[in-house]
A and B are shown apart, each in its own frame.
Chain A
Amino acid sequence: MNILDIRNLTIEIDGDNGPIRLVDRLSLQIAEGEIHTLVGESGSGKSLLAKAILGFINPRWRVTADRLWWRHYDLLALNPEQRRLVTGRDMAMIFQNPGSYLDPNASIGAQLQECIPNSELKGVYLRRRADRKTRAARLLHRVGIKDHEGVMRAYPFELSDGVAQKVSIAMAIAHNPKLLIADEPTTAMEPQTRSQIYRLLSKLNASHGMSVLMITQDLTAIMPETKRISMVYCGQLMEVGTPQQLLEQPLHPYTEAMRSMSLANHSTPVKTRLPTLGGAIPTMANLPIGCRLGPRCQYARRACIETPRLRKLKQHQFACHYPLIEVKNYD
């Protein structure tokens, strides 16, 4: 069953020449206990999508959607108060640079204890304080930090990237969320630290049934446990499918380009030019009409000035007029 169901989410802001669509009719479904990866380059609106789900919405944005449901709540119909209660109870988010968004003035222990909701504690004043401390230590153990006393005494600048990210995961899982949104948690981290964080998230996913929406830039550095991948480019959904489908037989030229330009596949000989997408990512003010990949796509033809519909071929969805393989029987 889908716990998060988004259909045609659109985010617009007013620009100099009329409204700019930062996110253009994006759909996303996450099943209970699923690890879903959202892959997109910068400016693709992937962080905006995460913010729209959580409700961190700038008043200048116009968020519209055919459906934005979290379990049985229609998030767009709730008033801000109710929405905050729902999202605050069920969702949590972690960010890219843990060292920079932890409070530099407070020790890790103090910040972690602040995250534990009062409703979880037992007893009266002194008892609650002691309980808070033991719970904070238990949280650190759960994310794989053994030296809880040392880390709780430390300040953010004293921690390495990996440990700081683990602390932020501990803060996020303090109230047992149903959905964890991880916004590029491992970009600019070393491969070893990255695989540690991935292992930790998949362990939490398996033991608590917590769904994870992982947002990342690189198609080839995804979590191994990912069930489905959504490719986003400039606010438009390009392709959705399982990792096997996308990495072995992509239907969309964008996925194919991302796959072939990565160095992880060993087909490119050493010291040779890599295949690339020409041009640069368009800026917000000059988004192309129709399929936004159009100007950079080598297969683009006249029909591409119209936005392609998301088409479905057994669980494999794609939005392209000219898919890479001849596809019949889609709907």
Chain B
Amino acid sequence: MTEPLLQIQQVSKSYYHKTGWFRGKRTLALEPISFSLQAGETLAIMGETGSGKSTLAKIIAGVEVPSSGQVLLRGEVLEPHNYRQRCQHIRMIFQDSLSSLNRQISIGQQLLEPLRFNSTLTSQEQQQKVVTTLRQVGLLPEHYNFYPHMLSSGQQQRVCIARAIILEPQIIVADEAFVALDPSIRAQIINLILDLQEDMGISFIFISHSAEIVKHVADKILIMHHGKLVEFGTTEALLTQPQQQLTRLLLGVE
């Protein structure tokens, strides 16, 4: 058994909010949760609204700091706040591609930024890398000088994917990345993600409430409810022998 790529150990998240001048209340958004993921696998996180699935994805990506527990990548602890270490390996894609891109600078500049901060390439190599990445996601080198508003929603999502893969990460976390896309564009983006996974061996963690996409793309499924892990297993196992009522409901299994 090889060492898992990503290990989540007893990770939990609670928020503190004031109820009076000296009093406060803790709400547990995510109860201690543990699982692991092998390299090249795709994990789908499903659950109803407010089930803590976005919180979990944000903790993995490093956007949120867990209240307890730790995230291990290849046996190495990922420190919260150490973005330089984490962003090389784990990248994130968001739902609304236009609002996650900077509208003031060109596509090329946006793709250069992660390279400038996280790589030792010379500026010529950086330019070259941006162009090859643009080609990899099905865009043209000419798009280097475009601004986000000049692209269609599908192309914008491609730019977001390009920004995620440009540092050759090991894991990409996608939070509802397919919802806002048109059906014909969505199929193209799913194809792109499957191709990239095959070429680069990236693991995907994605949140979705579309049972069809999950069934098609995921190797493993994690079902959450009210901050608790309800069921975790391979897609076949959950589809053929779901243990919980919620799993049946979310996956549409009779």
Residues of A within 8 A of B (CB): 41-42, 160-161, 187-188, 190-192, 217-219, 257-258, 261-264, 268, 270-277, 280-281, 283
Contacts and interface: CB of A to CB of B under 8 A. Distances in A.
Contacts of A257: 184
- 7 smallest CB-CB distances across A and B, nearest first, come from A263-B212, A41-B182, A261-B187, A274-B187, A276-B187, A277-B184, A190-B209
Interface string B171-186: 0000000011011110
Interface in B15-54: 48-49
26 contacts: A41-B185, A161-B49, A188-B179, A190-B48, A190-B49, A217-B182, A217-B183, A218-B183, A258-B184, A262-B183, A263-B210, A263-B215, A263-B216, A270-B216, A271-B194, A272-B194, A273-B194, A274-B190, A274-B191, A274-B216, A276-B184, A280-B152, A280-B154, A281-B182, A281-B184, A281-B185
Contacts of A271: 194, 216-217
A258 to B, nearest CB: 6
Nearest to B95: A188
Given A188-B180, A191-B211, A276-B188, 11 more contacts: A41-B182, A190-B209, A217-B182, A261-B184, A261-B187, A263-B210, A268-B216, A273-B195, A274-B190, A276-B184, A280-B154
Contacts of B215: 263, 270
Nearest to A262: B183
Scoring B182, B195, B235 by chain A CB atoms within 10 A of each residue's CB, the highest score goes to: B182
Interface residues of B, number: 30
A283 B212 contact: no
A219 B182 contact: no
Interface in B41-75: 48-49
B43 to A, nearest CB: 14
Contact of A263 (B48, B155, B213): B213
A188 B210 CA distance: 10
A41 B223 CA distance: 31
